[in-house]
Chains A and B, each alone.
Chain A
Amino acid sequence: DTGVSQDPRHKITKRGQNVTFRCDPISEHNRLYWYRQTLGQGPEFLTYFQNEAQLEKSRLLSDRFSAERPKGSFSTLEIQRTEQGDSAMYLCASSLASAVGNTIYFGEGSWLTVV
């Protein structure tokens, strides 16, 4: 059983550069979520997709952030013109909306350090 897969696991970038993260959800899951987590905080919701449709975006998702899930399978999260405040762990998660509890399962996360 393949879990949620994220790539890259670690990224160091210079301020002002663009970065892109990829997420492959659990194969039968139709919902895909992006969260961000900083030290000492719980995961903060960024956005989620049901199939290919982006259904909700957080106020945290500024114009520099964009997420796509073009064919309802994998998803990408792009951050343009990175800032030091973007340094965090970016977590992807997936769920099967019809399952009891709609439990979400997280990937291993992608660590971003902006220098």
Chain B
Amino acid sequence: QKEVEQNSGPLSVPEGAIASLNCTYSDRGSQSFFWYRQYSGKSPELIMFIYSNGDKEDGRFTAQLNKASQYVSLLIRDSQPSDSATYLCAGYSGYSTLTFGKGTMLLVSP
């Protein structure tokens, strides 16, 4: 069974720090990966996706993909209290459906 694993957290960081969120996946055929942010009681909203090995930056967010290690991460620079949410990692495995992890809760304290 194809799985995406995340530490449920919470991950606590002070305001202004770098938050590092990690994700591993079991299917070596997985090709592209997505990070979504989900506030409590709301639906997931897309942050960014990555499909090439290496880093991809978008504003304060950097996604990193290492296919050899089957590892995906999301770095949030200059973390703000408004970044406090659950971060969902998801991957395509060559099929047409995204498989999600359970999410990591991030808490940014002022």
Give per-residue flags for B85-110: 1 if the beta carbon is below 8 A from chain A beta carbons, else 0: 00010101001111111110000000
Give per-residue flags for B1-26: 1 if the beta carbon is below 8 A from chain A beta carbons, else 0: 00010101000000000000000000
Q: Which residues of B contact A41 (CB under 8 A)?
A: 102
Q: Which of B44, B97, B102 has a CB less than 8 Å from the CB of A106? A: B44
Q: Which residues of A contact B8 (CB under 8 A)?
A: 40
Interchain pairs with CB closer than 8 A, number: 54
Spot the interface stretch: B45-53, B66-74, B76-84.
B45-53
Count of chain A residues with a beta carbon within 8 Å of a chain B beta carbon: 25
Which chain B residue lies CB-closest to A31?
B96
Q: How far is the CA of A55 from the CA of B88 in the complex (A)?
A: 25
Q: Does A85 contact B (CB under 8 A)?
A: no
> What is B's interface to A at a CB cutoff of 8 Å?
4, 6, 8, 32, 34, 36, 42-46, 49, 51, 88, 90, 92, 95-103
